[in-house]
Chain A
């Protein structure tokens, strides 16, 4: 509502009708977003490089085949992380001692281990080990007459879970812990009067969460969720250590094959920059629209 008139809501009403004072040159210099100019220069430079220098053009042509993997890995992993994060975030504030402590343990474990190490560990240790558990469980189910579940479960072997899938699992588990903290903070930012009002009307805890607390909490944390999505786009580069052919891995392959390190990593950096800048812009627009719709 406020930005439709363009008037700062904090200004006293008297000034709203008066003509705004024209800005001085100094103010214009101070307030101008010069950094956008810097981005613009980089974009022009990049465009110049790939169109005039054959080596940069070739590098781009090669590396861009990884964009699809980078985007799909991020999208899948983030979607799963949202679910894990919401469940763990609710668990963190649960009154159930077991649930609360398990959730806290998960969050603290993940936050205390570097993402790179987690990716190695989950993909190369945790996933193969859980396959062993599946096998045993499948065999047990089959021997107990539940072959229709047991046999497919036991049939899952190390090759049936690709490294791409493992990379997604690893990123989801990692970001699930970060998002859990965002959800928890969002829920706790809602005054306890809201829960009391909902409960006093006869709603259960779950109903109050679903219809009253979460809609408000999620709205409050949308900017933070957006920021973590952008962060995940960048962190998805870590899955290249699993030989997943995202843009980082493809750029490494290209550099290794051609020894054109400058070309490969310049293009790689620019591709990430392009993706994150566009996403940041989208997050900002969403944020602003959210404020515009604010009915408070």
Chain B
């Protein structure tokens, strides 16, 4: 099943995931084309983060298949590290390495995973810091940065690996309101540059501006998908309408 050359960089087939007795995903099918931006929305507990985490095998599927760039993820797959290197992930709580400077946070994986020389890794780190607009913080430690700055460093850290896909797991949910924009601006620029992105987020503004496709999930299933306009302005499903009315009512 060689789908390396296909335009779909992510293919998920009939994905089920159990946590003990709790079923988080109940048969999800999803394809993402190269260069597209997909935004996943849905109430908490709907399985959207679990779905995202299955794409780089931080969660292992109970049933079904996940294909990334023509390779199937499986527990026996020894190549999981090299597949993950192609998939950048940005977490809700940033997860920067607190014992390393901002620069070293970005350099570390380049060196031990990509095997880059120090000079090259440092140069790339500086380029990515410039891209996210915080070149001046290279020598600071994560604890000295604001939440928004930390999240931008986390994005730079992922980008320095030259990933083919970027996953965002509620990247702005832990931020103070005045810092959300700086992170969304970076994500928007990234989308414009043609990065394949899968984002779990409640930022409707970002979804409207950047998403090629919006997916609404509930109870472990994809309920509705379509363009931002179709899903947000003309939802077909009752559950989508209810969800949208709840988050837009204030």
Of A96-104, A198-206, A224-232, the one touching chain B: A198-206
Check if A188 is an interface residue, CB within 8 A of chain B.
no
Cβ–Cβ < 8 Å partners of A296 in chain B: 98, 141, 143
A199 and B98 form a contact (CB under 8 A): no
Interface residue total, chain A, C-beta cutoff 8 A? 20
**What is A's interface to B at a CB cutoff of 8 Å?**
191, 193-194, 196-204, 207, 211-212, 215-216, 219, 295-296
Cβ–Cβ < 8 Å partners of B113 in chain A: 201-203, 207
Residue among A197, A201, A216, A219 with most chain B CB within 10 A: A201
Give bound CA distance, A212 to B95, whole Å: 11
Which 4 pairs across A and B sit closest by C-beta, in order of nearness?
A202-B85, A197-B95, A295-B141, A201-B109
Check if B209 is an interface residue, CB within 8 A of chain A.
no
Q: Which of B82, B96, B98, B144 contacts A202 (CB 8 A)?
A: B82
Of B2-10, B86-94, B227-235, the one touching chain A: B86-94
In the complex where A211-B108, A212-B97 touch, is A200 in contact with B143 (Cβ < 8 A)?
no
Give the bracket for the number of chain B residues in contact with chain A: 20 to 34
Give bound CA distance, A295 to B97, whole Å: 11
Give bound CA distance, A191 to B96, whole Å: 11
A211 and B112 form a contact (CB under 8 A): yes
Jot down 22 A-B pairs with beta carbons below 8 A, ordered by A: A194-B95, A194-B97, A197-B89, A197-B97, A199-B58, A199-B84, A200-B158, A201-B85, A201-B158, A202-B82, A202-B84, A202-B85, A202-B113, A203-B109, A211-B108, A212-B108, A216-B99, A295-B98, A295-B141, A295-B142, A295-B143, A296-B141
CB distance from A2 to the nearest CB of B (A): 13
Give bound CA distance, A212 to B157, whole Å: 14
Cβ–Cβ < 8 Å partners of B91 in chain A: 193, 196-197
**What is B's interface to A at a CB cutoff of 8 Å?**
56, 58, 81-82, 84-89, 91, 93, 95-99, 108-109, 112-114, 141-144, 154, 157-158, 161
Give bound CA distance, A193 to B154, whole Å: 13
Cβ–Cβ < 8 Å partners of B56 in chain A: 200
Cβ–Cβ < 8 Å partners of B81 in chain A: 199, 202-204
Beyond the given A202-B113, A219-B99, A296-B143, could you list 12 further A-B residue pairs with CB under 8 A, ordered by the A residue number?
A194-B95, A197-B91, A199-B58, A200-B88, A201-B85, A201-B109, A201-B157, A202-B82, A202-B84, A202-B86, A203-B109, A203-B113
Cβ–Cβ < 8 Å partners of A191 in chain B: 95
Cβ–Cβ < 8 Å partners of A207 in chain B: 112-113
B95 and A295 form a contact (CB under 8 A): no
Residue among A202, A203, A219 with most chain B CB within 10 A: A202
B98 and A200 form a contact (CB under 8 A): no
